[in-house]
Copies of this chain bind each other. A is one copy, B any other.
């Protein structure tokens, strides 16, 4: 939909980074006035809800500098230029967890922060994991540790703020709603 559309009058690029870019758009509002919008541009990401044969949820512990703490998240990563999201999902799953699968189902996509960022996350699901003997390793400067949590370990992890991000909480609700967990 385009209701209340804000037309761009001018775009000012502020920053071009490795992960995000920042620009300010001067926009015309529906009432004829003008305003400025701060826009973070992101390439988009994927995340994988992955259950082991023992019905454990595969989570990745990673230090998140914006939060100044490490949290447990479902495996996820940025989409590389021209990469098909499902390929990204399989790559990140392998790099971060050492698992792969031949059965990856697309679940949904959502914007994480529509007020200021265009980051979209595509969510996939698998309960058909295969452990690789020699998985491709990720970036040598990426430090992650794999955790596998049984359903009864989830609520304590949320309460203790180890699980603390939107996509992972979405994933847990998905598993509960589908009676998979």
Is A113 on the interface with B (CB-CB < 8 A)?
Answer: yes
A39 in contact with B66 (CB, 8 Å): yes
A65 in contact with B6 (CB, 8 Å): yes
Q: For A160, give the chain B residue with the smallest CB separation.
A: B1
Quick one: CB contact mask for A1-33 with B, threshold 8 Å, 1 for yes?
111111000000011011110101101011101
B166 in contact with A170 (CB, 8 Å): yes
B27 in contact with A116 (CB, 8 Å): no
| A30 interface neighbour in B19, B109, B143, Cβ under 8 Å | B143
**In the complex, which range does the number of interface residues on chain A fall in?**
35 or more
Interface segment, A69-77, A93-101, A125-133? Answer: A69-77
A29 in contact with B145 (CB, 8 Å): no
Q: For A40, give the chain B residue with the smallest CB separation.
A: B40
A110 in contact with B165 (CB, 8 Å): yes
Chain A residues with CB under 8 Å of chain B are 1-6, 14-15, 17-20, 22, 24-25, 27, 29-31, 33, 35-42, 45, 61-67, 69-71, 73, 78, 108-119, 121, 140-141, 143-145, 158, 162, 164-167, 169-170, 173-174, 176-177
- Seed contacts A14-B22, A37-B66; 11 additional CB < 8 Å A-B pairs: A1-B70, A3-B61, A4-B145, A14-B15, A31-B140, A39-B66, A42-B113, A110-B169, A111-B166, A112-B113, A112-B165
